[in-house]
Structure formats: structure tokens, C-alpha cells
Copies of this chain bind each other. A is one copy, B any other.
């Protein structure tokens, strides 16, 4: 009957917008529908956040380069990061697994150990699931978390004059991936923080909760496709623009050294690298010190760095050390070629 695809078909962003136009919207107990890091809905007496992620072998991961346990960890981390971005407390999850042929017990054990181990660390329990046959490994997680009393933090609340801040350092995951793809040793101590950032990312659940509970954060989301693209998404959702300053972007020393050694641009990794899973947020500039203290209390050693300012202009401008500006909106990582970044 109908073919699902054609050369003249939709981009991922167009497909998402079409689905939203058909089945999206909010109202009643559905406070926030499709489009944010997670949906927000009222169940009984509380507000809950729901997020889901589908990972397909060959598209999102390659079993030649990731161990089953790291794969499980990463799948859970990506979803927990979406809850962290709403400032929600992880509650429970539903796991769907597609497995080819007759699955190996060892493969399943390691995968589930990675998934469930990270989940339990953050208070999440797997409640149910489905296991089916599939030509490739397919992993779908759907997580639910409880919003704090201060309510979930959306990506649409950024206001002109807000300080733009990020947790942690940026680009380490991209550097780790590049390191491994170049065939360099995974256990090289110089690259260890980078390969760990790529293989076993740390979702900022505790920081996200502390930030949401403060009631001082205007907009928040996680950085999964690079600062350039995710900043543009936040600006689009908030109807604002942003001015970022190159010299303020936080880079890990190990990342800068690896970039030098590999002849790569550390700023490119920091702006356009995927899967950092740090938090991007905006707040009134005067609230930054209090929020930085809250983040450091929630996750000892974790920094909160101001990287720019929300503006009323459209776009995401980056100012280099010479004071020159360029628009970097939607120049980040995308799973799809020729993607406009939705």
C-alpha cells in the first residue's frame, strides 16, 4: 500500500511538526504537550513529566563501538537528562527492547545492568516493558518523573536580559567520541574524562531538581545536540535571541589538550558536539550566585557558568575574542543529514 518514505519526503523536523499539528496540543490535564524536553500532565493530585526516546542500532549506536552496558547507561542517561531538564524527580520507566535472532543472555544482562543501574542511582524503577524480535537492536524508554512543588521548568520562559548559563563543561562527549573513532586507546588516562563523558554520561538530575526547586530559573533544557542548536531551540520556544561569548564557554582542560593533539577545534566540539547532557538555563543575572551555590551543593564539583545573555533579536550570536559576531543557530549535531534542527 502506501510507501512510508520517498526522496521528496519530510525532514525529521517537518515530520515532528506534522505529528504535533495532528495529535499535539495541550489543555485540561495535559499542561505541556509535545515540543519540550518532556510532556507535563496532571495525574491525580500531582504534576508529572513524561519523556521518551527511541534508539535504533545503526542510526544511534554501533555495537562495534559501544559495550552493551555502556549502551544501556547512555539510553537511560539521555532520558534521565530530559527529566533533569524539567527539574523532575525520576519515578519509573517502561522499557521496550527489540532484539535480533535469539538474544544472548550476556548481552541482555549487560544492557539491563547499564540501564537499570543508572536508573536506580537516580531513584528510578523499571515498571514494565515489552520484548520483541527485530532485525536490529531497538531500545525505547519512557520515563515519568514528578515535578517539584515549584513546578516544571519549561524551555519557553527565557526573557530579554536573562543570564544564559550552563552546568559543567561542554564538548567533552564529542571529544571522547572523536578520540575513540580515531582508534586511540580508550584507557589512555589523558582522555579518560572525555571517553567517560561519551560512554557513560552523567545526567544532571540532582542539579536540575535543585535549580527547579529554587524557583529562580526562567527556562531550562538539556544540551543533547550541542549548545548552538539547543540554544536556538530555547530561543525559538521563548521568542527571543541570545548573545553568547566565546571566551566564557567552559571547556575541560583534557578536552582542549585532546583537540590540540588531534588537530581539532575545541570550540567546535563545545558548540556543536552532541550528547553533553549538561543543563542550559536562563535566570535573572542577580540570581546566578545563589543558583551556582545550589548546583554545587546538589552535585559537588559541578560548576554553573554564565555563557551569555538573552536578547530581543532573533538568532544565536557568538562573539569571538575580537568582538566579532556570527550567527551559530542550528549549527549543531543532528542525527539527520540536511536537517534544519527541529
Are the C-beta atoms of B58 and A127 separated by less than 8 Å? no
- Give the nearest-CB partner of A132 in chain B: B54
Interface 9-mer from A6-14, A226-234, A245-253:
A6-14
Docked-complex contact B131 and A12, CB < 8 angstroms: yes
Q: Does A51 contact B (CB under 8 A)?
A: yes
Partner of A56, one of B18, B106, B125, B132: B132
Contact of A185 with B by CB under 8 A: no
Tell me whether B102 and A53 are in contact (CB under 8 A): no
Q: Are A99 and B43 in contact (CB under 8 A)?
A: no
8 A Cβ contacts from A147-185 to B: none
Q: A22-B109, A138-B54 are in contact. Are A133 and B59 (CB under 8 A)?
A: yes
Chain B residues with Cβ below 8 Å from A64 are: 1
CB–CB A127/B39 < 8 A: yes
Cα distance, A23 to B34, chains bound together (Å): 29
Task: Digitize A54-92: 1 where CB-to-B-CB distance is under 8 Å, 0 elsewhere.
Answer: 111011100111111000000000000000000000011
Range of interface residues on chain A?
35 or more
Number of copies: 2
| Min C-beta distance of A42 to chain B, whole Å | 9
Which residues of B sit under 8 angstroms from A65, Cβ to Cβ? 1
- A99 and B5 within 8 A (CB): yes
CB distance from A80 to the nearest CB of B (A): 15
Q: Which one of A110-118, A202-210, A236-244, A262-270 is at the interface? A: A110-118
Question: Do B116 and A9 touch across chains, with their CB atoms under 8 A apart?
Answer: no
The verdict on A108 contacting B54 (CB below 8 Å), with A30-B92, A115-B23 known, is no
Q: How many angstroms from the CA of A108 to the CA of B34 in the assembled complex? A: 16
